[in-house]
Structure 1
């Protein structure tokens, strides 16, 4: 199975929405968010 890294940038105002969307997709345990460091991007590694 191949592994993919998905990078999703967002604005500071969209942080909570991005987090909620990742949770709704069931991917929160596979995601890393850079928001606390001022990098408003999430990275998710999935296998497909």
Structure 2
């Protein structure tokens, strides 16, 4: 589960960077970065629970 969150976060950050510098979509770009940051924070908070 943790690696999936990292993959999602990386994809969202790349999408945000591309959207910020290539396209001018407006608020959608900032929503992508917020979602990526939330995914990273969530993965740190949940941690690795495989015992």
Q: Which has the higher contact order (CA 8 A, sep 6+)?
A: 1
Instruction: Provide TM-score, normalisation by structure 1.
Output: 0.40
Larger radius of gyration between Structure 1 and Structure 2: 2
Instruction: Provide TM-score, normalisation by structure 2.
Output: 0.38
**Which one has a larger percent strand, Structure 1 or Structure 2?**
1
**Which one has a larger percent helix, Structure 1 or Structure 2?**
2
